Structure 1
Amino acid sequence: SHPKPACHYPPSQWCRSLEIAIECKVQKQCMELGAIKPNQTVPRVALTLYYESLCPDCRRFITKQLFPTWTMLQDIMSLTLVPYGNAKEVLSVNSPFSCQHGEPECRGNMIQACIIHLTGTSLAFQVIYCMESAANVLNAAEPCLQLYAPSVSWVTVDACATGRLGYKLMHGYAVMTRALNPAHTHVPWVTIDGQEYTEETEAKATSSLFRLVCDRYKGVKPPVCTGAPVKLSRSGCLAE
């Protein structure tokens, strides 16, 4: 009884991709089934964040801009986290690194580097967001890990953060940070799609990162970018 959508694909393929669903006018139905994803042949928007764990501006950017954007747009963006910031490699018996906000920040950076290494960026970012949104970043590390990555023991993370592996990971981030061109002058420092940092890009990233990622994506925009209307149930909770 329903009219056939004006498209050139059989019904079995209507939900194969977002592009086909849009053409066949079944986008809403396919989205409800969770059956469509953005075209994987289109490159994701690649965002790299250079930051440090106790920097107030970094914490604000991660919790207010980056994490909400990543939560909604992770299908069309890739994320690289570089927890080093304004640290420096030094010749010291106690620690090979000196951090802007002292030794606690060096430990925070190291913990987050180890979590990224042990869990992968997607899972690690949830732990890091949990840490950065807490009143005390370091005290939150273990409970945040248990909440979002319970398969990874705190003992393993702590051993990494106090051992040779942690130092190796941080050295790698130091090399990445020093290779920035132009050199970073502050954090958070954001680059998009491997391109050079620009003040214009940073202004857009720090004011409306969500819109920046949507605009930079070359494929068919997901509904959340286009503001496609979603009809919600009106049944509600009736008053007695």
Structure 2
Amino acid sequence: MTADMKFARLLVVFLLYLPVQRSDGRSHPKPSCPYPPSQWCRSLEIAIECKVQKQCMELNATKPLSAAPPVEVTLYYESLCPGCRAFITQQLFPTWTMLQDIMTVNLVPYGNAKELPSANSPFTCQHGEPECQGNMIEACIIHLAGHSAFQVVYCMESSANVLNAAQPCLQLYAPAVSWSSVDSCVKGEMGFKLMHNNAIMTRALSPAHTHVPWVTFNGEYTDENQDRAMSSLFHLVCQLYKGGKPPACTGALVKLDRSVC
């Protein structure tokens, strides 16, 4: 259990039992925070909204300095590509869930799309117009939802219908981001700007990508790492991290609470 997880559990207890004084002199339970405990200390804005900034500052002050930079994993993908969806749901998200203290994830939805000199339809996608729409929706969510974006994208990609899942997934994992803001991004200039930037990033790959999913580590691509990422991304990230290995990587026994049901 990481320090963040331990602290989140303490915050849950703290917020559940902290009373708030009403105007009539009586107390009632503190209103619940719209974010899950694991996100309370992810940003200053969330800490303020959940009224735990003091506790988060104390937690950060007690954290040991990182011995090495995290492994930067960048995924170039398409929203409706079956192979990309499988990699996100079976490799990337589970690995990040376990190793987010030693890795960062960048998502670039574009893949094998083509940018066209047309004002009405500036992009064409391998799996048709719905994929272009999915790519832009996810690009806008990544832009607007910040640290919660990966969870939203995972929720979408693991659903039976990626596009239909966008709004409920956003509401579930990034409740502070309104669907109207995403819709405005998709239909406005920002969406096209984000996709143009993704096109530039994808075209700049060296070597040039030949398929998706295409994965780089710390900005570099090798066939060996690509093959290993497809079969066991978890072990690859553990190996690439240069700092002290977390217990999940070493297989070291961790003493957990012995509460049972």
Change (3 A) 1:37 1:53: farther
Partner of 2:27: none
Check the 8 A contact 2:75/2:108 in 1, yes or no.
Answer: yes
Partner of 2:75: 49
Residue 175 in 1 paired to residue 200 in 2? Answer: yes
Q: 2:237 aligns with which of 186, 205, 213?
A: 213
**Superposition pairs of residues 127-146 of structure 1, within 5 angstroms:** 127-146=152-171
Residue 152 in 1 paired to residue 156 in 2? Answer: no
Structure 1 residue ranges (4+ consecutive) displaced by more than 2 angstroms after TM superposition: 28-41, 91-94, 230-237
Task: Please list the CA deviations of residues 124-177 of structure 1 after superposition, one character each: whole Å capped at 9, or x if unmatched.
Answer: 000000000000000000000000011111111011011110000000000000
Gaps of 5+ in 2: 8-58
Change (3 A) 1:205 1:232: same
Change (3 A) 1:235 1:192: closer
Tell me by how many angstroms 1:102 deviates: 0.6
Change (3 A) 1:235 1:58: closer
**Paired residue type of 2:110:** Y
- Taking the aligned partners of 1:90 and 1:64, their CA distance within structure 2 comes to 33
- Taking the aligned partners of 2:209 and 2:3, their CA distance within structure 1 comes to 44
- Taking the aligned partners of 1:201 and 1:168, their CA distance within structure 2 comes to 31
Gaps of 5+ in 1: 1-27
- Taking the aligned partners of 1:50 and 1:141, their CA distance within structure 2 comes to 19
Check the 8 A contact 2:247/2:254 in 1, yes or no.
Answer: no
Tell me by how many angstroms 1:39 deviates: 4.0
Q: 2:126 aligns with which of 79, 100, 110?
A: 100
Partner of 2:135: 109
Higher mean C-alpha deviation, range 164-173 or range 32-41: 32-41
Q: How many residues in Structure 1 have an aligned counterpart in Structure 2? A: 208
- Taking the aligned partners of 1:199 and 1:37, their CA distance within structure 2 comes to 36
- Taking the aligned partners of 1:31 and 1:89, their CA distance within structure 2 comes to 42
- Taking the aligned partners of 1:192 and 1:49, their CA distance within structure 2 comes to 9
Task: Please list the CA deviations of residues 167-192 of structure 1 after superposition, one character each: whole Å capped at 9, or x if unmatched.
Answer: 00000000000000111000000000
TM-score between both structures, scaled by the size of structure 1:
0.81
Check the 8 A contact 1:110/1:170 in 2, yes or no.
Answer: yes
Q: 2:254 aligns with which of 230, 233, 239?
A: 230
Structure 1 vs Structure 2 CA RMSD = 2.0
Change (3 A) 1:128 1:235: closer
Partner of 1:84: 110
Change (3 A) 1:96 1:199: same
% of aligned pairs identical?
Answer: 69
**Paired residue type of 2:145:** T
- Taking the aligned partners of 2:168 and 2:4, their CA distance within structure 1 comes to 34
- Taking the aligned partners of 2:164 and 2:6, their CA distance within structure 1 comes to 40
Task: Please list the CA deviations of residues 6-48 of structure 1 after superposition, one character each: whole Å capped at 9, or x if unmatched.
Answer: xxxxxxxxxxxxxxxxxxxxxx997985577574251110111
Partner of 1:67: 93
- Taking the aligned partners of 2:115 and 2:250, their CA distance within structure 1 comes to 45
